[in-house]
Structure 1
Amino acid sequence: MSFPHERLAANPHDRTAERREDEAWLAGRWADPDTRVLVVSGTRIRPRDGQIDWVSPGDAPEGLRVLLGEHDDRAWFAVVVDAEVSKAAAQGEWTPLRGLLPRLADDAVAAAPLVFHALGLAEWLFATRFCPRCAEPLRPRRSGHELVCANGHSQFPRTDPAVIMVVTAGTPGADDERCLLGRQAVWPEGRYSTLAGFCEPGETLEDAVRREVREEVGVRVGEVEYFGNQPWPLPASLMVGFVGRAETTEVTVDQDEIEDARWFTRAEMRELAEAGTLVLPGGVSISRSLVEHWYGGTLPGHW
Structure 2
Amino acid sequence: MNFFSHNPLNRFSEMRPDEAHMQQLWQQQEARVLVVHESLSLIKKTGSGKLAAVLRQQEAEDLAKLAQVQVYLGSEEVVPYFVLGFEGMEEQLQNLLGEDYALADLRMSAHELPQPDGALLAYARGMVHWNLRHRFCANCGSVTYSTNAGHVRQCTNEACNLHHFPRTDTAIIVIISEGDACLLGRQAVWPNGMYATIAGFLEPGETLEQAVAREAQEETGVELQKITYHSSQPWPFPSSIMVGFNAEARNRNLVLDNDELEDARWFTRKEIEAGLQDGTLRLPPPISIAYRLIRDWFNANGAYKLEELTGY
Contact kept? 2:172, 2:201, Cα under 8 Å? yes
Alignment-derived partner of residue 169 in structure 1: 178
Q: Which residue of 119, 125, 133 corresponds with 1:127?
A: 133
Does the Cα contact within 8 Å between 2:19 and 2:148 map onto a contact in 1?
no
Query: Does the 8 Å CA contact 1:168/1:246 hold for their aligned counterparts?
Result: yes
Q: Tell me how far apart the structure 2 counterparts of residues 93 and 112 of structure 1 sit (CA, whole Å).
A: 15
Note the C-alpha offset of 1:210.
0.7
Distance 1:89 1:75, change over 3 A: closer
Q: Is the 8 A contact 1:166 1:242 kept in 2?
A: yes
1:114 matched to 2:123? The reply is no
Residue in structure 2 matched with residue 8 of structure 1 by the alignment = 4
Which residue does 2:20 correspond to in 1?
A: 24
Alignment of 1:29-68 (within 5 A): 29-49=25-45, 50-60=50-60, 61=63, 62=65, 63=67, 64-68=69-73
**Match for residue 158 of structure 1?**
167
Post-superposition CA distance 1:165-218 (Å, at most 9, x none): 000002xxxxxx110001111111111110100000000111101110111111
Q: Secondary structure at the match of 1:263?
A: strand
User: What amino acid is aligned across from residue 105 of structure 2 in structure 1?
Assistant: P
SS at match of 2:89: helix
Cα 1:166–1:262 shift into 2, 3 Å:
same
Task: Answer yes or no: is 1:298 the counterpart of 2:306.
Answer: yes
The equivalent of 1:253 in structure 2 is 256
**What amino acid sits opposite 2:89 in the alignment?**
V
Pairing 1:85–2:94 present: no
What are the Cα deviations for residues 104-158 of structure 1, in whole angstroms up to 9, with x where unaligned? 4x25xx5433222211111111211211111111111011100111231110001
Matches of 1:277 and 1:252 in 2, distance apart? Answer: 23
1:70 and 2:79 are equivalent in the alignment: no
Are 1:163 and 1:205, in contact at CA under 8 Å, matched by a contact in 2? yes
Match of 1:102 among 96, 111, 116: 111
CA distance in 2, matches of 1:283, 1:182: 17
The aligned runs of 1:147-296 (5 Å cut-off) are 147-150=153-156, 151-170=160-179, 177-296=180-299
Amino acid at match of 1:78: V
C-alpha offsets along residues 18-39 of structure 1, whole Å, 9 cap, x if unaligned?
1212233223322222221001
- Specify the code of the residue in structure 2 equivalent to 1:59: E
SS at match of 2:44: coil
Q: For 1:78 and 1:84, locate their aligned partners in 2 and report how far apart those are by CA, in whole Å.
A: 17
Q: Which moved more, 1:159-168 or 1:289-298?
A: 289-298
C-alpha contact 1:181 1:195 (8 A) present in aligned 2 = yes
Equivalents in 1 of 2:235, 2:268: separation in Å?
Answer: 29
Displacement of 1:277: 1.5
Tell me the percent identity.
Answer: 36
Report SS of the residue matched to 1:12.
coil
Q: 1:97 to 1:269 in 2, by over 3 A?
A: same
What secondary structure does 2:287 align onto? coil
Distance 2:38 2:192 in 1: 32
SS in 1 for 2:306: coil
> CA-to-partner distance for each residue in 1:30-55, whole Å, 9 max, x for gaps?
22222210011223223220321110
Q: What SS class does the counterpart of residue 251 from structure 1 fall into? A: coil
Check conservation: 1:280, 1:302, Cα contact below 8 A.
Answer: no
Aligned length: 288
Name the CA distance, whole Å, in 2 between partners of 1:298 and 1:33: 46
Please provide the CA RMSD for this pair: 2.0
More moved, 153-162 vs 31-40: 31-40
Deviation at 1:100, TM superposition (A): 2.8
Which residue does the alignment assign to 1:173? none
Number of the residue aligned with 2:148: 142
2:72 and 2:289 map into 1 onto residues whose CA distance is 27
- Say whether the 8 Å CA contact 1:46–1:94 is kept in structure 2: yes
The unaligned stretches of length 5 or more in structure 1 are 171-176
Q: Where in structure 1 do 4 or more consecutive aligned residues deviate above 6 Å?
A: 87-90
Cα offset for 1:240? 0.2
**Is the contact made by 1:44 and 1:86 (CA closer than 8 Å) also made in structure 2?**
no
